[in-house]
Amino acid sequence: MDKNTFPEIASEVKILSHRIRSLKQEVSSDAVDMTLEDDLFEDDHKELYREQRERIRSMNVKKKRDFVFLEKVNGEIVNILDGLELHTEVFNAAEQKKIVDKVCQLQEQGRKGELKRAFTAQGKGRSAIQFGCCFNYRTSKAGRPPGILRHETVEPLPSLFKLIIKRLVKWHVLPPTYVPDCCVVNIYDEGDCIPPHIDSRDFLRPFCTVSFLSECNILFGSNLKVGETGEYSGGSYSLPLPVGSVLVLNGNGADVARHCVPEVSTKRISITFRKMDESKRPVWFIPEPDLQGIQPIIPCELNTSGSSDQCILVSENV
């Protein structure tokens, strides 16, 4: 552009470029994203600024989808990891802290007996708190099959968890047709684990698990087993789960591969979000009004050549 012919436009472009650069720096730092904060913006100007920050942050999430681990299943070679997706840098450090603080507060409520479905680790396992529905991983002592307990009540999703769900849908981590309506918080102290399992079909696919506090490996294998002495056998693929990441389980990754988290070396928290099959929902269940109609963010505008790798941020009125 000839800056002598269009001095005002050139100066405007310079200001906007500078503004975009500083916005990018800000969103990549550990600033708390305001969608996870309690205080709301007071005016349209701030709202626009928040939307732009959120759009840039959602575009900076890294996605890995091409997982491959071939195993023979029923006589056929299949990629048992097909359908898995790992989204990293979904929650920044300040947001992770806010979520971990909330989990610690819930754990304390659980210890005091104030929550209906809070379990502390017994033997080899981990502490867990269920919200939105109660479920069993395996057949209970009373002979109830694994899955959702339709006649048992439990607390609804805490509002902070609903904000997490909204982000997952808005940021294209989960599709808007599979908005989770329940979750389980897993709290692993040093030495805790979750044994090999496939999640109950009472929950739709995809579902996802969000990691906090420390990185650990999750193992996948169609024949994954844990022996009496705690050794894992059957062959497995080990996938590191960074803090602030979201692992989406779908396809073979959810239904052919069993998964487990072996004994962790340091405290870790995960939250598994799932959507119930409508016919399996608890009899008392009413869908959360604020989890209806969530729309994914439109990431950016394409430039005039239609190339998707050159995004133009709409930055008027910043």
Ligand X SMILES: O=C(O)CCC(=O)C(=O)O
Binding residues for ligand X (CB under 6 A): 184, 186, 194, 199, 209, 211, 218, 241, 259, 261, 270, 272
Smallest distance from ligand X to CB 209, Å = 4
The residue among 69 and 220 lying less far from ligand X, judged by its C-beta, is 220
Q: How far is the CB of 200 from ligand X (least distance, A)?
A: 9
Least Cβ distance, residue 19 to ligand X (angstroms): 39
Identify which of residues 7 and 240 has a Cβ nearer to ligand X in the complex.
240
What's the closest the beta carbon of residue 160 comes to ligand X, in angstroms? 18
Looking at beta carbons only, is 262 or 282 nearer to ligand X? 262
Q: Which residue is nearest to ligand X (CB)?
A: 270
The least distance separating ligand X from the CB of residue 157, rounded to whole angstroms, comes to 15
Q: Which is nearer to ligand X, 49 or 137 (CB)?
A: 137
Nearer to ligand X, 92 or 270 (CB): 270
DSSP code per residue over the chain: --TTT-HHHHHHHHHHHHHHHHHHHHHHTTPPPGGGSSSPP-SHHHHHHHHHHHHHHHHT-EEE-----EEEETTEEEETTTT-EEEESSS-HHHHHHHHHHHHHHHHHHHTT-STTEE---SSS-EEEEESS-EESS--TT-PPSEE-TT---PPPPHHHHHHHHHHHHTTSS-GGG---EEEEEEEPTT--EEEE---TTB-S-EEEEEESS-EEEEEETT-EE-TTS-EES--EEEEE-TT-EEEE-HHHHHTSEEEE---SS-EEEEEEE-B-GGGS-TT----GGGSS-------EE-TT--TTSEE---TT-
